[in-house]
Amino acid sequence: MSTEPLSLAHADDWVPQACTLPTAEQPLRIAEFDDLFATGLRGLARPGPTRLQLRLDASTEAAARDLTARETSCCSFFAFDYIPAPGGELLLDVTVPHAHVDVLDALAVRAAAAAGLP
């Protein structure tokens, strides 16, 4: 469990207070993630508490790489790795330190909801 409280300006907000992105820009970033998940997420898996694997349509790679690069500039605890996968897909492996598991939990829930996954 994280010792860092989440900003709960909105009930579904997963932005940690350690995020250095200006507050006014946070809803825009969340919307960008929602769009990526809605248009490109094909599935997800949770291999461990500090790891989330997102299976993306390969056509979203450029947008995903741009978005995750910008995300690590404000939330440096995220690590994003890309792994080519068969069938026109790309695995986005997301890891966080144990102190930020709750942020990863919230991201997984948000991703599944935006993509309409169970």
- Amino acid 24: pLDDT: 75
pLDDT digits (tens, 9 = 90+) for 69-83: 998 988 889 999 999
CATH number at residue 55: 3.30.1360
14 or 117: which carries more pLDDT confidence?
Answer: 117
pLDDT digits (tens, 9 = 90+) for 30-55: 899 999 999 999 999 999 999 999 99
In a domain, 11, yes or no: no
In a domain, 18, yes or no: no
Q: How confident is the model at residue 118 (pLDDT cuts 50, 70, 90)?
A: confident
Give the 3-state secondary structure of residue 92. strand
Q: Is the predicted pLDDT of residue 9 greater than 60, yes or no?
A: no
Question: Across residues 23-27, what is the average pLDDT?
Answer: 76
* One-letter amino acid of 74: C
Q: Please state the domain count of the chain.
A: 1
In a domain, 61, yes or no: yes
The domain in which residue 85 lies consists of 23-115
In a domain, 1, yes or no: no
